[in-house]
Amino acid sequence: MSTVVDIKGISLSIGGRDILKDINFEVYEGEIFTILGGSGSGKTTITKCIVGLYKPTSGSIKLFNRDISTLSQIELDNIRKDVGYVFQGAALFDSLRVWENVMFYHLEHNRIEERKLKSMAIRYLEMVGLAEEHLDLYPSELSGGMKKRVGIARAIATDPKLIIYDEPTSGLDPITSRLIDELILDLRNRTGSTAIVVSHDLVSAFSISDRILILREGEVLQIGSKGEILNSSLPFVREFLKKGLGDLYEARRA
Ligand X SMILES: Nc1ncnc2c1ncn2[C@@H]1O[C@H](COP(=O)(O)OP(=O)(O)O)[C@@H](O)[C@H]1O
For 220, the 3-state DSSP assignment is: strand
Query: Least Å distance between CB 88 and Mg ion?
Result: 5
Query: Least Å distance between CB 15 and ligand X?
Result: 6
> Virtual CA dihedral for 194, 96, 167, 171, nearest 10 degrees?
-150
44 binds Mg ion (CB under 5 A): yes
Half-sphere exposure of 134 (CA within 13 A, CB side): 23
Select the binding partner of residue 37 from Mg ion, ligand X, none (C-beta < 5 to 8 A, by kind). Answer: ligand X
DSSP 73-126: HHHHHHHHTTEEEE-SS----TTS-HHHHHTHHHHHH----HHHHHHHHHHHHH
Query: Least Å distance between CB 191 and ligand X?
Result: 26
Q: Which residues bind ligand X (CB under 6 A)?
A: 14-15, 19, 37, 39-45
Query: Least Å distance between CB 134 and ligand X?
Result: 29
Give dist(CA 71, CA 52) in Å, integer.
10
How many binding residues for Mg ion (CB under 5 A)? 1
Give dist(CA 224, CA 226) in Å, integer.
6
In this complex, which beta carbon is closest to ligand X, that of residue 101 or of residue 177?
Answer: 177
Give dist(CA 84, CA 127) in Å, integer.
14
In this complex, which beta carbon is closest to ligand X, that of residue 48 or of residue 252?
Answer: 48
The amino acid sitting at 77 is D
The residues with which 24 forms a beta bridge, in sequence order, are none
169 binds Mg ion (CB under 5 A): no
34 binds Mg ion (CB under 5 A): no
Choose the binding region for Mg ion from 7-15, 39-47, 93-101, 146-154 (rule: CB under 5 A).
39-47
Query: Least Å distance between CB 20 and Mg ion?
Result: 13
> Virtual CA dihedral for 230, 231, 232, 233, nearest 10 degrees?
150
In this complex, which beta carbon is closest to Mg ion, that of residue 28 or of residue 87?
Answer: 87
- What is the β-pairing status of strands 194-199 and 162-166? parallel
In this complex, which beta carbon is closest to ligand X, that of residue 42 or of residue 168?
Answer: 42
In this complex, which beta carbon is closest to ligand X, that of residue 11 or of residue 158?
Answer: 11
In this complex, which beta carbon is closest to Mg ion, that of residue 44 or of residue 204?
Answer: 44
Query: Least Å distance between CB 163 and ligand X?
Result: 17
Which spans of this chain sit near Mg ion (rule: CB under 5 A)?
A: 44
